[in-house]
Amino acid sequence: MKISDKFKNRGGAPIVSVEIFPPKKEEAFQNVGLMLEKFKTLGPAYISVTCGAGGSANRRNKTIELASMIKNKFSIDSMAHLTCIASTAASIESELKEIEKSGIENVLALRGDIPKEGFDPSKSEYSYASELIEKIKAESGLCVAAAAYPEGHIECDDLDESIEVLKIKQDAGAEVFVSQLFFSNEYFYKFLDKAVKAGITVPITPGIMPMMTKSQISNMIFTCGASLPAAMIRLLNKYENSHDDLLKAGIEYAGAQISDLTKNGAAGIHIYSMNKPEVAARLMEYV
């Protein structure tokens, strides 16, 4: 089922989804069914599958393979991430055909990470996610989701400009937006208010990630540009030497975010699960 239709038919209940990534090691990938069995018991509306940092061809193939497995073997609607910065029109067309052939109905269109070595962005056939969205809409019948950045994109510190880009993505054909993670709901509410005033009419789902380790949070700050509220900094300092206590505090913190978002009418909740069904299960209790 197309995710856009899920939102149209949701009534007043939020659409709850989770994100996973293809395991890097082949033996782990072969055992991914055990993880998906656990996710299935949670009943997510859909599962999105990332293509990993760098978006290599092998990782992209694993994305489609895993998204197909979710849809066809486990009967859960899936959404495959698709990046464009290092892609050609021909490669995008090939991937779209493979995605549709696999029975997948949804994609998340992203620019993707710029390769660190041996790549000249000026020679890329695609420079922006909006260009990829237009390509997908022209070449397929897929539902297209796109990314939203409540604190602005890490490469752009102007929130108003980020909203303008969001509108360009919607005009290109984006039917749903999934937000980057954030640790203060106030950023999301401010962003949502600006988006609506700018003419955004499609659903924007807030993305929530629980803190699990201090290194994980540090990585998110540098790769995503997410801000750390004082309350989270205090928790990190208090429990940094106790993995179990930090995880418990992280789930409670993210759970409070979810409860507040749900209470205030969020269209959906997208959980960045880090491939941990047990964490997703505990967070779903707050919806």
Which residues are tagged catalytic?
A: 19
DSSP state of 201: -
Return phi, psi of residue 88, to 5°: -105, 165
Residues near 215 by Cβ (< 8 Å), separated by ≥ 6? none
For residue 271, the surrounding DSSP H or E stretch is: strand 268-272
Task: Tell me the Ramachandran region of residue 182: left when phi exceeds 0, alpha when psi lies from -120 to 50, beta otherwise.
Answer: beta
- Cβ atoms of 23 and 275 within 8 Å: the answer is yes
Give the Cα separation of 79 and 90 in Å (integer): 21
Give the Cα separation of 20 and 209 in Å (integer): 12
